[in-house]
Amino acid sequence: MENILFVLKRRNTSYGVSVGLNNSAKFIANFLNLSYDKYHAKVVEVFDSNEIDKHLHGFKPKFCFLEALFVPPYKLHELAIKYKDTLFVVRIHSKTPFLAMEGIAIEWMNEYLNLGLENVLLSGNNKYFYNDMRFIYGQDDWVYLPNIYYPIANRTEKIGPKISKGMYGDLDIGCFGAIRPLKNTLNQAVAAIIFAERMGKKLNFHINDDRVEQRGESVLRNLENLFSDVFRHELIKHSWSDHYDFLKTIKDMDITMTCSFSESYCITAADSIYMNVPTVASPEVTFIPSYLTAEPTNTQQIVDKLEWAHSIPKTFNWLCRNGLKKENKRNKGIWQEFLKGSDDESEV
């Protein structure tokens, strides 16, 4: 039995711990634990990098995946020297436009690679980002480990699609996730309002408002002001919740939107597909067929795709679901090859 440890930094905030990184790690752990007898994967959260040592000592993992850039380079050096039989992989879940807004990103990546340790690798979960970084830094220091969508292992049935409110009901559109400038939430709200007016319906535009990052305060303020002057339509705010409860929220939507400027992988889009709710996304969400996506700055294109998703929701979602299934199958194979390749190298 080979132990695999996923380590995340605990967020000491009011909105809870079920954030994208947490779900991403748990999905992969679910896949490994349920698909193979030889792997025992565990996800842990730590308050700081000093706490990692305790988990490494007790669990003795062959692989330790550090989710995102939160371990200072000096600490990673200390851990990698102490636990030489563990392969440390720093998993980066962002593309370059997002990293540009994180002041320490490139500095820490440089320092990680300058450690010169064979048991330290960097990983991108997005193929485009991975190819860029491999070109700049060299292919030996980087590995491509994409996301796998494998939710809630102990649930045997989907919660089910929304019960239609009929043609005269309100229009519920969800645009969930952290409020950040690159999420393009304001323009999606504008498109949703135009679509609702075209449909002759009141719009309930659903967001998460208690996770505002990367100077997203101005985005939230503009959203609030937009809906304060559009009296027919309403901005509905949801607190951050665990994944199961979030899926129940998704179930109540007619459509969701993920027309972001930058996405390395969009779990909320996958959640919508899983819950049989059509989602209108930008081309950044690579598992959705390109002809179903809309450019994030093209409001009319977004409106047109909203109309398509609303008029044939089952067909729209079936096409999206096929795209997710194909990417999921491919990504599982990539993880299998990586873990097997590491096994083969250890035996040489």
Q: What pLDDT does residue 14 have?
A: 37
The amino acid at residue 20 is G
Taking 50 as the pLDDT cut, the residues of the chain under it are 13-18, 153, 345-348
pTM equals 0.90
Rounded distance, CA 26 to CA 123, Å? Answer: 17
Same fold across 2-145 and 171-326 = yes
Q: What pLDDT does residue 140 have?
A: 86
Rounded distance, CA 142 to CA 255, Å? Answer: 37
Cβ-Cβ contacts under 8 Å for 123 (sequence gap 6 or more)? 65, 89, 90, 91, 92, 130, 142, 143, 144, 145
CATH of 171-326, one of 1.20.1260.10, 3.40.50.2000, 3.90.1410.10, 3.40.50.300: 3.40.50.2000
Q: What pLDDT does residue 18 have?
A: 46
CATH architecture of 2-145: 3-Layer(aba) Sandwich (3.40)
Cβ-Cβ contacts under 8 Å for 155 (sequence gap 6 or more)? 244
Domain extents in the chain: 2-145, 171-326
